[in-house]
Amino acid sequence: MNKQYIKYSFVLGFILAAITLISFIPNSSNIIGPFDIEKRPVSLINEKYVYDWGNVLTNIDEYCENYISENIVKKYGIEVVIVTLPNLQGHASVENAAFKIFNNWKIGKNYNGKGILLLFVKNPKVVKVEIATYLEDVFTDIFVGYIQDLQLKPNYLGGNIDKGIVAVFEEIEKRAQLKILEHDYSLLVKELDQEILSQGAGAKRKLINELSTKSSDKNLPQNKYQAGSTPEETWKKIIKRWENKERSPYLGIYTEIAKLMYHDYQNLPDSYYKKNVNTYKSKPYKVQLDGNYAVIDFGNKKGWDNSPFLMCKTQEGWKFDMVYQRKLIRMGPSPSWGVERTISPYTKILRKYPGYLGIDTPRHNDDIYKIQNDKKLARKIVELEKKLSANHSSYEIYFELGKLYSTLAMGLKSISYLNKAKQYNPDNPYIYKYLAIAYVDSTYQYKKAINEMKKYVELLPDDDFGHSFLGYLYFRTKKFDLAEAEFKKALKINPHSCYANAKLSRVYGKMYLNSSSANIAKIVYKISSDEFFDKAKAYCTDSQSERFRWLNRWRNRKF
């Protein structure tokens, strides 16, 4: 047997062993080795904070890793670890399992004793939150009861764990900000705890039953608070609704899609409404108008309560546009917020505000929300939801609902439906398209979106949209060579694409800026960026003109 054969046999054996190991591990993107309550698995690449052995977080695992790493660990020095298990692993209670994981894994040890564990067990469905002693002055028992029993548990039992996790991260960050204050924060902690107690939480940890009785009957359309004749009139009615603690989603000041969205927000506590009234009733504002679209403007200032509210004019009058509110207005780590730079009816009047991450994915025209289609889309959703309740295994209904939720800023809701549709018909390319949109729009999960768009492009290789979308995703993840290749493929199919030309100019601009002066390709990148800049100028007209404006401003600032 020659040495070359031995060499290849060894390599092949190693590859097969690796494949066997990976296939043995469920949800391998989340997990490193089997669960061991005595010892935390060691990451070979980056530090990990999410261990999803129970396959509970498959829709938001990337989001959870990124949020914990960037928004909690780096900024506040607090280690948050999420563990999900298929069962209690032989332990008598979830409390016992959480205690052992927290202590054996030494969660927070490398962060001066600042650690938090969120443990989810799948069978039976139970939740436990464990807090390090060093954090208990801010992350109090009242706070733990609130996030565990009023946010995580109901959402977990109701199949909405994605929504619960997002809400809990915001609450953890709100408390973490107090921990880094130099002055005494004990009074602020008491105020926050008092607010929680007013919601029925605390020592007894009552669930949402008390709040549910306050909701208006959602089965009886009421259409109170009619749409305003001006954006200002609608804004005043929104404040009046907060003053009256009106929980019905059937209000005339909402679009039909917004009414459907508000079904999930009927059980908000009285303190929520009181806080909004205190914040906004006397807050000075201006109305910025652009045709049938308007912004309630509190100034271009930091602070979540300074972010704008979006209004649109319908046949009935001015209404709150919750679809574009969700799509465009993003809350970063408090007090930062920003506007997504993407083409929308509000583009011009939102120019002055700070930009956010830049969700600017290409869209087919049919996937762009238009207010004139609002009622039709809402009726379709209601009909499909009724059909689904009668036929839980319908591929067509799962797909259609997932598609609608994806395009209407209900991304977290759409992901589970589309994944179910994928199980029935994995050869439908549009499932992968809408999953990619949902992963990006809802939680900035670019890696997951890349996997979906790669499958879409595989199934529809001659669609320039797919290559442009994949190019955008590679650009966002700083894989500029891969982005370059995809945008070139898109332009080969559609040379006049404003989107692909503008993005490719930016890709080459990034490659130019990232190259050292010794790199002989540097000048080529600059020439290429100029070339596609000129093409974008020629093709980005009418509704796409703002895209060229962004490109021009970026180049003037960077070059």
Task: Give the separation between CA 308 and CA 232, rounded to whole angstroms.
Answer: 13
Task: Give the separation between CA 2 and CA 204, rounded to whole angstroms.
Answer: 74
Average pLDDT, the chain: 87
pLDDT at 31 (0 to 100):
54
pLDDT at 169 (0 to 100):
92
Q: With cut-offs at 50, 70 and 90, classify the pLDDT of residue 223.
A: low
Q: Which helix (H) or strand (E) holds 294?
A: strand 293-297
* Domain ranges, ordered by start, for the chain: 1-27, 50-210, 231-350, 380-558
Three-class secondary structure of residue 409 per DSSP: coil
Question: pLDDT tens for residues 85-136?
Answer: 999 988 889 999 999 999 999 999 999 999 999 999 999 999 999 999 999 9
**Total length of the chain:** 559
Q: To the nearest whole percent, how much of the chain has pLDDT over 70? A: 89
Question: pLDDT tens for residues 541-558?
Answer: 988 999 999 999 999 998
Residue 235 has pLDDT above 80, yes or no: yes
254 φ, ψ (degrees, to nearest 5): -105, 145
Question: pLDDT tens for residues 29-84?
Answer: 445 678 999 999 887 656 899 999 999 998 999 999 999 998 899 999 999 999 99
With vertex at residue 154, the alpha carbon angle to CA 148 and CA 156, rounded to the nearest 5 degrees, is 85
Decide: 292 and 344 in contact? Cβ < 8 Å. no
39 contact partners, CB below 8 Å, separation of at least 6: 104, 105
What's the 3-state SS for 26-67? CCCCCCCCCCCCCCCCCCCCCCCCEEECCCCCCCCHHHHHHH
pLDDT at 12 (0 to 100):
34
Decide: 218 and 263 in contact? Cβ < 8 Å. yes
pLDDT at 65 (0 to 100):
94
Decide: 468 and 362 in contact? Cβ < 8 Å. yes
Three-class secondary structure of residue 370 per DSSP: coil
Residue 538 has pLDDT above 70, yes or no: yes
Provide the CATH topology of domain 50-210: Diaminopimelate Epimerase; Chain A, domain 1 (3.10.310)
pLDDT at 394 (0 to 100):
85
pLDDT at 11 (0 to 100):
34
Q: With cut-offs at 50, 70 and 90, classify the pLDDT of residue 16.
A: very low
pLDDT at 155 (0 to 100):
85
Stretch 5-28: mean pLDDT: 35
Buried b (16+ CB within 10 A) or exposed e, 501-514: bbbbbbbbbbbbee
Task: Give the separation between CA 168 and CA 95, rounded to whole angstroms.
Answer: 19
Question: pLDDT tens for residues 150-199?
Answer: 889 888 888 888 888 988 998 898 899 888 776 788 888 888 888 777 65
pLDDT at 441 (0 to 100):
93
pLDDT at 32 (0 to 100):
65
pLDDT at 199 (0 to 100):
59
pLDDT at 218 (0 to 100):
44
Task: Give the separation between CA 465 and CA 236, rounded to whole angstroms.
Answer: 42
Q: What is the pTM of this model?
A: 0.84
Residue 405 has pLDDT above 90, yes or no: yes
Residue 175: name the closest of 205, 142, 150 by CA. Answer: 142
Asked, as a colleague might, if the bond just before 426 is cis with ω within 30 of 0, I would say: no
DSSP per-residue string spanning 212-265: HTTS--TTS---BSPPBSSHHHHHHHHHHHHHTT---S-BTTB-HHHHHHGGGG
Q: Which of 42-51, 79-88, 303-312, 401-410 has the lowest mean pLDDT?
A: 42-51
Residue 303: name the closest of 289, 283, 323 by CA. Answer: 283
Decide: 196 and 146 in contact? Cβ < 8 Å. yes
Start-to-end CA distance of the chain, whole Å, equals 60
Task: Give the separation between CA 548 and CA 537, rounded to whole angstroms.
Answer: 6
Residue 438 has pLDDT above 70, yes or no: yes
Stretch 509-514: mean pLDDT: 96
pLDDT at 266 (0 to 100):
78
pLDDT at 190 (0 to 100):
87
Higher per-residue pLDDT: 524 or 45: 524
Q: With cut-offs at 50, 70 and 90, classify the pLDDT of residue 534.
A: very high
Q: With cut-offs at 50, 70 and 90, classify the pLDDT of residue 213.
A: very low
Q: Which of 6-15, 184-193, 296-305 has the lowest mean pLDDT?
A: 6-15
Exposed/middle/buried for residue 42 (C-beta within 10 Å: 0-12, 13-18, 19+):
exposed
Decide: 114 and 77 in contact? Cβ < 8 Å. yes
Q: Which of 147-151, 208-212, 363-367, 501-505 has the lowest mean pLDDT?
A: 208-212
pLDDT at 44 (0 to 100):
60
Stretch 529-535: mean pLDDT: 97
Q: To the nearest whole percent, how much of the chain has pLDDT over 90? A: 67
Hey, what amino acid is at 158? G
pLDDT at 211 (0 to 100):
31
Residue 269 has pLDDT above 90, yes or no: no
Residue 255: name the closest of 147, 348, 369 by CA. Answer: 369
Buried b (16+ CB within 10 A) or exposed e, 418-439: bbbbbeeeeebebbbbbbbbbb
Task: Give the separation between CA 47 and CA 63, rounded to whole angstroms.
Answer: 15
Q: Parallel, antiparallel, or unpaired for β 309-313 and 318-320?
A: antiparallel
CATH superfamily, domain 380-558, is Tetratricopeptide repeat domain (1.25.40.10)
